[in-house]
């Protein structure tokens, strides 16, 4: 897609998915399009960084199944941080099963739907399995207010590059905009103003890890590839001074978003 982004106010008004009303309002208020991926294994470590990050980011992304001491107290504290700083809590579970099982997983062991605002879902299981999320998203007993479809992966050789895959994922998302808030992708794929393009694979100091990940800068991801939200993990979490890096990534990503004139 080459169409430029609409202003945040327009996107907010056009939001079909509840998550996006919150997202675009929060982006405007915080002047941030940064999401921090906290891939730590212990809840205290995660909460400590979440507190530092919350004022700077629009979303905090977790892999709850990587946390070895996950419990209700963790969830409670996380929700408090989210509430105090207007942060979206994002569980990156990448669900990929038939609809009925996806729902069981959402309500299972870690009860994701109760505390996560948004969860990632693969497109591979097809449209009807994805439409099954609607029941949970529309149920006020759950926190979940949208899903992000994985349209492209950042890793080298990802099969999402196979002919037609990304377009097929986009079509499923665009046909279900009340529940699909947007995409995990490498470049902007949808021309619907309300759809959010969340992009991982951003690091300002390195190009790759030793396990297939591919990184590029924020300017490339946001200004050239027209994504909306930068998802950064180790660029911040592996640094000696995470707060300094958070401020740096926030500034770079936001400048790229509002069309700052640096390269
Ligand atoms: O900045 P990193 O490489 O330390 O972390 C990137 C984060 C990780 C991945 O699980 C996630 O982004 N991710 C995803 C997501 C968000 O779904 C998709 C993808 O294609 N690549 C990727 O790295 O927490």
Cβ–ligand 1 distance for 201 under 6 Å, the answer yes
Whose alpha carbon is nearest atom 18 of ligand 1? 153
DSSP string, 199-252: E--B-SS-SB-SSS-B-B-HIIIIIIS--SEEEESHHHHTSS-HHHHHHHHHHH
Residue 232 Cβ contacting ligand 1 at under 6 Å = yes
For ligand 1, what atom is nearest to the CA of residue 37? 24
Q: Which residues pair with 197 in a beta bridge?
A: 183
205 appears as a binding residue in the annotation: no
What is the position in ligand 1's atom list of the atom closest to the CA of 209? 3
Q: In the prediction, which pLDDT does 183 show? A: 99
The whole-angstrom distance between residue 248's C-alpha and the CA centroid of its chain comes to 19
What integer is the mean pLDDT of 72-79? 98
pTM value? Answer: 0.97
The string over 62-97, giving b where at least 16 C-beta atoms fall within 10 Å of a residue's C-beta and e elsewhere, is: bbbeebeebeeebbebbbebbeebebbbbbbbebbe
Residues noted as catalytic? 92, 94, 97
Average pLDDT score, the chain:
96
What pLDDT score was predicted for residue 110? 97
What is the 95 CA–ligand 1 centroid distance (Å)? 15
> Is residue 167 packed enough to be buried (19+ CB in 10 Å), middle (13-18) or exposed (0-12)?
exposed
Separation of alpha carbons 180 and 173, rounded Å:
6
Percent of the chain with pLDDT over 70: 97
Region 163-171: what's the mean pLDDT? 98
**Which single residue is written with the structure tokens 């199944």?**
65
Main-chain dihedrals φ then ψ at residue 159, nearest 5 degrees: -70, -10
Q: Is 223 annotated as a binding residue?
A: no
* Residue 261: pLDDT over 60: no
| Whether the Cβ atoms of residue 17 and residue 146 lie closer than 8 Å to each other | yes
Tens-place pLDDT, residues 47-70? 999 999 999 999 999 999 999 999
Q: Which ligand 1 atom lies nearest to the CA of residue 63? A: 24
Number of CB atoms found within 10 A of residue 212's CB = 12
Ligand 1: centre distance to CA 153 (Å): 8
Q: What is the pLDDT of residue 2?
A: 59
- 202 has which bridge partners? 216
Residue 260: which pLDDT band, with cuts at 50, 70 and 90? low
Ligand 1 centre to CA of 160 (Å) is 14
Q: Is the distance from the beta carbon of residue 231 to the nearest atom of ligand 1 less than 6 Å?
A: yes
Which of the 8 DSSP states describes residue 7?
Answer: P
Q: Tell me the pLDDT band of 155, cut-offs 50, 70 and 90.
A: very high
Q: Which class for 52: exposed (0-12), middle (13-18), buried (19 or more C-beta within 10 A)?
A: middle
**How large is the C-alpha radius of gyration of the chain?**
17
Using the predicted structure, report yes or no on whether residue 188 has a pLDDT greater than 50: yes
Q: Is 184 in the pocket of ligand 1 (CB under 6 A)?
A: yes
| 200 CA → ligand 1 middle, Å | 5
Mean pLDDT of 10-25: 96
Q: Which two tokens stand for residue 94?
A: 């990448």
Distance 199 CA to ligand 1 centre (A): 8
Instruction: Evaluate whether 11 touches 24 at the Cβ level (below 8 Å).
Output: yes
Kindly tell me the sign of the dihedral angle through the C-alpha atoms of 189, 235, 116, 111: positive
The average pLDDT across 144-172 equals: 98
Mutate to test the pocket of ligand 1, among 124, 201, 205, 218 (most ligand atoms within 8 A of CB): 201
Q: For a ligand 1 pocket test, name from 231, 238, 249 the mutation site with the most ligand atoms within 8 angstroms of its C-beta.
A: 231
**Residue 253 is inside which H or E element, if any?**
helix 242-257
Mean pLDDT of 203-223: 98
Question: Helix (H, G, I), strand (E, B), or coil: what is residue 122?
Answer: strand
Quick one: how many helices (H) and strands (E) in the chain? Answer: 12, 8
């Amino acid at each position: 897609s080459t169409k430029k982004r609409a202003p945040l106010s327009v996107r907010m008004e056009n939001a079909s998915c509840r998550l996006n009303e919150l997202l675009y309002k929060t982006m405007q208020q915080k002047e941030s399009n940064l999401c921090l991926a906290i891939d730590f294994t212990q809840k205290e470590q995660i909460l400590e960084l979440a507190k530092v990050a919350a004022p700077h980011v629009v979303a905090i992304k977790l892999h709850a199944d990587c946390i070895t001491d996950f419990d209700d107290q963790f969830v409670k504290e996380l929700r408090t941080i989210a509430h105090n700083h207007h942060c979206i809590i994002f569980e990156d579970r990448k669900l990929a099963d038939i609809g009925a099982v996806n729902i069981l997983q959402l309500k299972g062991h870690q009860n994701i739907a109760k505390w996560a605002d948004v969860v990632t879902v693969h497109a591979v299981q097809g449209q009807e399995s994805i439409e099954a999320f609607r029941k949970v998203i529309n149920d006020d007993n759950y926190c979940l207010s949208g899903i992000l479809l994985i349209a492209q992966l950042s890793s080298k050789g990802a099969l999402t590059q196979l002919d037609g895959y990304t377009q097929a994922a986009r079509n499923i998302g665009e046909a279900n905009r009340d529940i699909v808030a947007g995409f995990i992708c490498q470049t902007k794929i949808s021309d619907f103003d309300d759809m959010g393009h969340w992009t991982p694979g951003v690091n300002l100091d390195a190009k790759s890890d030793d396990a297939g990940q591919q990184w590029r800068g924020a300017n490339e991801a946001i200004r050239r590839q027209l994504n909306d939200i930068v998802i950064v993990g180790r660029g911040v979490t592996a640094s000696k001074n995470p707060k300094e890096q958070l401020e740096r990534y926030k500034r770079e990503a936001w400048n790229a978003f509002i069309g700052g004139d640096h390269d």
